[in-house]
Amino acid sequence: MSLLNRSSLYKTVDNVNEALFFGKNISKSEAREIVGWISTRYDTEYSYNHSYGLTGKDMRSPVHTFTGERLLCASMRHIMAEESARIVLQLSQIAGSKPETLKKTNERFYLMLKASENAGKPLGTFCCAACTIGLWRYLNAGGLPKYQEHISNGLMSLHSNRDESGKWGRFPFYYTLLALSEIDDPLATKEINYALPGCERALKRLKPESKFSKRKRELLLRLLN
């Protein structure tokens, strides 16, 4: 089955994320095709501040994080822009070249992060908690190299949001765990260890009936083993 869905940026990104998460092979030709199509979504009607934009079909349909948290309004468009940039970056490594749209998107992201910093937001965070996690996933994949040093600052902000139940208050539990599992930083490991009892409880409650439940289960097993 093709990973590219020309009517949906969300489904294309979700398909690629699933392939990468479960270690499935993506050919050079398919990577080039997907990168080329996502590039056509740059600065379109539903893009977030001149980045990669969702399609009209996406805007009329439910959109979720990879781990199943529902996304709404501006945060939906922003997180999908970050996730799209992440996919373009990763697939560009397979395809052998990066599109100009990724450079332009990065320039926009840098401006947004600077504006966020000037508005008093902590370094390593952006807008809402879910948007912050989307930012970390992109940074950890190699995006925005001038800002990557601030992941640690963001992780300290996450630490301050601990609610002593193995979670982090406003931060979406599974999407946060997904990002932490990818970040090679002692602070990320510390937060995972804090969350392990909550992971054990969550695993007992999960019934792998949907694609999101299967992904959550796999993520929890990786963290607990």
Cβ proximity of 79 and 87 under 8 Å: no
Would residue 73 be called left, alpha or beta, if left means φ above 0 and alpha means ψ between -120 and 50 degrees? left
Q: What's the average model confidence in pLDDT over 83-101?
A: 97
Question: pTM to 2 decimals?
Answer: 0.95
Q: What is the per-residue pLDDT for 104?
A: 96
Q: What's the average model confidence in pLDDT over 95-118?
A: 95
| Integer Cα distance of 191 and 181 in angstroms | 10
Cβ proximity of 203 and 221 under 8 Å: yes
Q: What's the average model confidence in pLDDT over 115-142?
A: 94
Q: What is the per-residue pLDDT for 74?
A: 86
| Integer Cα distance of 216 and 183 in angstroms | 18
Cβ proximity of 153 and 122 under 8 Å: yes
Q: What is the per-residue pLDDT for 209?
A: 82
Q: How confident is the model at residue 123 (pLDDT cuts 50, 70, 90)?
A: very high
Q: What is the per-residue pLDDT for 62?
A: 96
Q: What is the per-residue pLDDT for 164?
A: 86
| Integer Cα distance of 114 and 107 in angstroms | 11
What's 17's DSSP letter?
H
Per-domain boundaries in the chain: 9-224
Strands (E), the chain: 46-47, 53-54, 63-64, 70-71
- Tens digit of pLDDT for each residue in 20-48? 999 999 999 999 999 999 999 999 999 99
Query: Rounded to 5 degrees, what angle do the CA atoms 224, 82, 64 make?
Result: 60
Q: What is the per-residue pLDDT for 1?
A: 74
Is pLDDT at 182 greater than 80 in this prediction?
A: yes
Is pLDDT at 207 greater than 90 in this prediction?
A: no
